[in-house]
Amino acid sequence: MNNLLASRLFQRFWQIAGAVSIRVKVLGIVLSVIILLGTFVTLQMRGVLTDTLERRLLDQGKALAGQFAEGVASFIQDESFAEARAYLIGRQEHYSSAGHNTSILYISVEGTIQQISTWDHGPPFTDDTQVAVDIAVPVRESDAVLHLGVADITVEQTVTEVTFQLVTITLVMIAVGFAAAFFLTWILTRPIYELVEATQVVATGDFSRRVSQWADDEIGELAVAFNGMAEALAQAEVEREEREQLRTQYVSKVIAAQEEERKRIARELHDSTGQSLTSILVGLHNLKDVDDLVEVPGRIDALRAIVSHTLDDVRQMSWQLRPSTLDDLGLVSAMQRYIDDYQQRFGIQVDFISRDIGERLPVDMETVIYRVIQESLTNVVRHAQASSASVIIDRRANTLRIIVEDNGIGFDLAEKQNGKSLGLQGIRERAALFDGTLTIETEPGQGTTLFIELSFDSQHTNGNSEHE
């Protein structure tokens, strides 16, 4: 039960402490420490000072009592009690004056002799008069005892004055500590508040906000780190917008290419395949009207040639859309056939090398590799003015590297990147499908080399056995 209560109190304390600002926490800690230390020092000083002054008062009283007992002894021996009383009254007045830091309340002598007292109302130490210290000293050569009453009013006054001074000093220290703590918290919290405000601005998407580095301490390092983070976020946002713009342009290009391809297919179907089929229909119609059977075989052969040519055109059109060898025989055979056709069409010598491509790759990866090399060689024809090129496909563990190199005119890589080449962006986008990267090495007049690296899981390389 006690542990549960203590736990709840502790949680409640942290809830309250956590609800206030850092400035209030620091001010509260500083003021609490000053007040606790001031209270402890004041109480400790009061105790020590009281003990010291009371011991001094006792020692002083003993010395005075001994002196008075020695002085009054001769009067008692002569039984001069009136003179003894006058002597004691004189001593009391003398040592109770302003010149002495003593307050003697009474002096009395008791014994078998007549009682001698500086008070007029009987034995002063038997009534309710406030006497701090009563000191008894025997009188020489008699059975009398001298009683000296010393008041502790001077002790109380001194302790009160010192306590007041300590309290005053504590209040001054509280004021100074409060001012120092306020200034310290201002120094500490101002950059923190600036960081909080800047963080809120950055959270809205404005990455241009920066904070000042107030010092070279931890908060200064935090400011430097924040500025670096904001700079990185701003750069990342610029790159994201550029990638988004390139992706939009790339998608537009793909759509335009698809439409262009549809137009080309429609044109070829109309101009070539359509005319061939029309010729076949006309030939078949005319074949019915032939009277001379000798002409029939020749006309049938002509129609067969037209049909064969039409089939070749359809197969060529189908292969251009997607090579059947890519599905039937795999990447290497499809690339070899494409490169052979490429060399015949454009007159550019292309060396093709494949290493460690023994097993079929995933279908989507083979398609990406095929299109990447196709786009790379298309760029060679369009821009490189090259006479030769080479294509290397190299597989190492779970990484596949593609190298396309030409001996063309090259280009300024910085200008090309600033120009946002859609061809290179298309290659980069396809490579990114397999966590791939594109690296370009080129200089004007030195040719161009593309390095494309793709990652894949070797456990899935046999997943296309049904296509073989």
pLDDT score at 126: 44
What Cα–Cα distance (Å) separates residue 401 from each residue in 2, 30, 210, 391? 70, 66, 42, 11
Please name every residue paired with 350 in a beta bridge, in sequence order, or none if there are none.
389
Residue 12 three-state SS: helix
pLDDT score at 457: 66
Q: What is the location of CATH 3.30.565.10 in the chain?
A: 326-467
Report the alpha-carbon distance of residue 20 to residue 33 in Å, rounded.
18
- Joined tokens for residue 13: 């304390």
Q: Which residues contact 399 (CB under 8 A, 6 or more apart)?
A: 453, 454, 455
Q: Please provide the CATH number assigned to the domain covering 326-467.
A: 3.30.565.10
What is the block-wise mean pLDDT of the chain (468 residues), using blocks of 10 residues?
Answer: 70 68 80 88 89 87 90 86 88 81 83 76 50 82 87 81 89 88 82 85 85 78 87 87 78 72 70 72 73 73 79 70 70 88 90 83 86 89 90 87 92 68 78 88 90 73 38
Residue type (1 letter), 29? I
Report the alpha-carbon distance of residue 183 to residue 258 in Å, rounded.
70
Largest distance between two CA atoms of the chain: 195
Report the alpha-carbon distance of residue 451 to residue 404 in Å, rounded.
7
Report the alpha-carbon distance of residue 197 to residue 205 in Å, rounded.
13
- Answer yes or no: are the C-beta atoms of 170 and 200 closer than 8 Å: no
- Answer yes or no: are the C-beta atoms of 407 and 375 closer than 8 Å: no
pLDDT score at 237: 86
pLDDT score at 286: 73
pLDDT score at 450: 93
pLDDT score at 435: 85
Pick from 374, 376, 413, 426: which is nearest to 248 by CA? 426
Q: Which residues contact 245 (CB under 8 A, 6 or more apart)?
A: 420
Q: How many CA atoms lie within 13 A of 343 on its CB side?
A: 13
